[in-house]
Amino acid sequence: MPLTKTIFRQNCLEKIKNSPKHNALYKNAKLNYQLLQEISKFKNPKILFYAPLPFEPDIRKTINIIRKKCDTFVPFMEGESFKMVPFRLPLKKKKFGIYEAGNTLRDIKKIDIAIVPIVGVDGNLQRIGFGKGMYDRFFAKLKKRPYIIFIQSEFCSTKEFICDDYDVTCDLIITPHVKVRNAAIAINRK
């Protein structure tokens, strides 16, 4: 039976849910450190973060540090996608158990960096998410592609090409133990 996105997503979610919990603080600290190092390469970037769910990498430490220096945004769910809103407290628990900042009338269309949680990646380093397609629809609406960093607590990938053309690809994947740069994207950016 050939590998499909659905089967691969289930396998990756099992791997994430069954990963040891005793070293979660250590893994999150490593992720935050690497993420801060990567962001520091940009001058005053506008950054889209995500509000982590319990099984996603906890990047709140990075958000708290970066929001003092840079414009930071988080997703605000709208229909089948989301828009960006400025990160401001308090965050409120909304649809799918995701924490969101309050809505804004501002129409923010340009960011420099997007930090995106993933479940896994395929052979093209395209995102396997949670199956809702929200990030795919969001990135399709942007005029300019930002530098995209995928974040994952447990590296889960396949060499097979199981994603669709519209699935988002990254510039960089950061996990506690693996860091992967997308050479194909880096060449196109030059």
In this structure, are residues 3 and 162 in contact, taking their beta carbons and an 8 Å threshold?
Answer: yes
Collapsed DSSP state (helix, strand, coil) of residue 141: helix
Which residues neighbour 43 within 8 Å (Cβ) at sequence distance 6 or greater? Answer: none
In this structure, are residues 149 and 171 in contact, taking their beta carbons and an 8 Å threshold?
Answer: yes
Collapsed DSSP state (helix, strand, coil) of residue 114: strand
Q: What is the pLDDT of residues 46-84, one digit of tens each?
A: 999 998 888 899 999 999 999 999 999 998 887 777 888
Work out the mean pLDDT of the chain and round it to a whole number: 88
5: its two tokens: 């996105």
Domain 5-189 fold is Rossmann fold (3.40.50)
pLDDT for 189 beyond 70: no
- Where do the DSSP E strands lie in 18-110? 46-48, 71-78, 81-86, 92-93, 99-100
Q: What is the rounded CA–CA span in Å between residue 168 and residue 20?
A: 29
Domain ranges for the chain: 5-189
Which residues neighbour 18 within 8 Å (Cβ) at sequence distance 6 or greater? Answer: none
- Report CA-CA distances (Å) from 128 to 3, 16, 95, 147, 180: 13, 13, 20, 18, 16
pLDDT for 95 beyond 80: no
Is 1 or 10 the better-scoring residue by pLDDT?
10
What letter does residue 153 receive in the DSSP assignment? Answer: S
Q: What is the pLDDT of residues 126-162, one digit of tens each?
A: 999 988 888 888 888 888 999 999 999 999 999 999 9
Q: What is the rounded CA–CA span in Å between residue 40 and residue 63?
A: 13
In this structure, are residues 77 and 143 in contact, taking their beta carbons and an 8 Å threshold?
Answer: no
Q: What is the rounded CA–CA span in Å between residue 156 and residue 119?
A: 7
